Amino acid sequence: MALIVQKYGGSSVANTDRIKAVAERVVATAKQGNKVIVVVSAMAGETDKLIRIAHEITDAPDEREMDMLLSSGERVTSALTAMAIQSMGYKSVSFTGRQVGIITDSAHTKAMIERISAERLVKAINEDKIPVVAGFQGIDESSDVTTLGRGGSDTTAVAIAAALKADLCEIYTDVDGVYTTDPRIVKEARKLDKISYDEMLEMASLGAKILHGRSVEFAKKYNVPLVVRSSFNYNPGTLIIKEDEDMEKIVVSGVAADKNQARITIMGVPDKPGIAANLFDAIANANIVVDIIVQNISSDTKATDISFTVSKADSKKAFEITKDVSDKLGAKGVNMNTDVAKVSIIGVGMVSHFGVAAKIFETLAKEGINIMMISTSEIKVSCVIDVKDTEKAVKTLHDAFNLAK
């Protein structure tokens, strides 16, 4: 007998028929002798509808009120799912984030979980009830409702699994698992049976939109085994766990592409200490996340060029800030290129295998793809390229590293 947390996303509970299908899956897991805890998202489209209504009221809705508003969607699904499980003859009970003791900080719309008491969950399980928890939400110290931001229900599920030392946390979505790359780009893309937390984190942050990074970080921190799988079929999915020896034999696990990138370059910056800090402080103060930074050694030894990437959404604001800094520093100018993409190769095996980077450069060069920026870590290599080359780069790298097997 295992304790399993199952999280169902918006597409998995999109309508009453889908909710009944979820109930069947939950009951099937319970029938196999497992204890099951269910976490649900809002029905697909509901959260967007509420956001739209709020913007009909005011252009800048208060974040505390947004949390009160948006948290209602998951409550609806939790009650309906509990009813569906009950109608199959099993005991079930819905809980809000508050009722299972999910206490967060007060950062409305993007709160962080501080602790979970889970008392009522334990009690329900001991009474042979199947608890259905409204995902995405908690309360802060003053008992105000908070939400956990994008991917929040995944975080709820992982946090509950961690608190109760669950044997497994299953994330049900509308894809079969984690692939070596986007199957819409490379039809030979292969579903991975398993992947390490770190690899998944790189995949998540690099634009593979399956699982939000925060939930993976949480799973890694508390060593919660995660499975990503589809609620529309019974395929086994992808297991996300601590890296093991098997994994290290596989050099590369996947190729990820992210077109939501812009590159900004500030040219001819006087080469003095503290210049970069100056620039990136100003950008950080605007809550903009900088991804890759490259400082070129300029031909002019008294000056340097600095290039960095930000998301497309932040690019306009980052460009303005950079121009201001450029003026103050007496740099030669600033330019921006929004027609760029970041292609990355991820794999825990890289750390012990030399030559991965070289193979990437060689492969891309052979296809005539120009590399604008490079960034490397122990388990990934990212290249910024022209956006028009994205699909070609992903295909050729997927092939070069033999990921289709």
Minimum separation from the CB atom of position 92 to a copy of itself (A): 8
Structural contact between residues 146 and 108, judged by C-beta atoms closer than 8 angstroms: yes
Q: Residue 76 Cβ, how far from a copy of itself at the closest point, in Å?
A: 5
Nearer to a copy of itself, 126 or 285 (CB): 126
Question: Alpha-carbon distance 279 to 185, whole Å?
Answer: 36
* Cβ proximity to a copy of itself, 16 vs 352, nearer residue: 16
Q: How far is the CB of 212 from a copy of itself (least distance, A)?
A: 24
Whole-angstrom distance, CA of residue 290 vs CA of residue 321: 13
Between 66 and 374, name the residue whose CB sits nearer to a copy of itself: 66
- 16 vs 370 by CB, closer to a copy of itself: 16
Closest approach of Cβ 103 to a copy of itself, in Å?
14
Q: How far apart (Å, rounded) are the C-alpha atoms in residues 365 and 388?
A: 15
**260 C-beta neighbours (distance < 10 Å), count:** 14
The residue length of the chain stands at 405
Distances (CA, A) of 86 to 4, 28, 75, 83, 91: 19, 13, 17, 5, 6
Nearer to a copy of itself, 59 or 378 (CB): 59
**CB of 23: closest distance to a copy of itself in angstroms?**
9
- Smallest distance, a copy of itself to C-beta of residue 134, A: 9
Q: What is the DSSP letter of 134?
A: E
How far does Cα 141 stand from its chain's mean position?
27
* Under 8 Å between Cβ of 229 and 170: yes
At closest approach, how far in Å is the CB of 221 from a copy of itself? 29
| Dist CA 129 CA 136 (whole Å) | 22
Pull the structure tokens for residue 188. Answer: 């030979």
Count the Cβ atoms, other than its own, within 10 Å of residue 326: 18
Query: In whole angstroms, how close is the CB of 34 to a copy of itself at the nearest point?
Result: 23
Q: Interface residues with a copy of itself (CB under 8 A)?
A: 16, 19-20, 50, 53-54, 56-58, 61-62, 64-66, 68-69, 71-73, 75-76, 78-80, 82-84, 86-87, 93-94, 96, 98-99, 143-145
Cβ proximity to a copy of itself, 58 vs 301, nearer residue = 58
Nearer to a copy of itself, 78 or 315 (CB): 78
Closer to a copy of itself at the Cβ: 80 or 403?
80
How far apart, in whole angstroms, are the C-alpha atoms of residue 298 and residue 361?
A: 22
Containing H/E element for 144? none
The one-letter amino acid at 404: A
CB 160, CB 221: distance < 8 Å: no
Cα-based angle 249, 254, 257 (whole degrees, multiple of 5): 155
**Among residues 72 and 260, whose Cβ is nearest to a copy of itself?**
72
- The greatest distance separating any two alpha carbons of the chain, rounded to the nearest whole angstrom, comes to 77
Q: How far is the CB of 37 from a copy of itself (least distance, A)?
A: 17
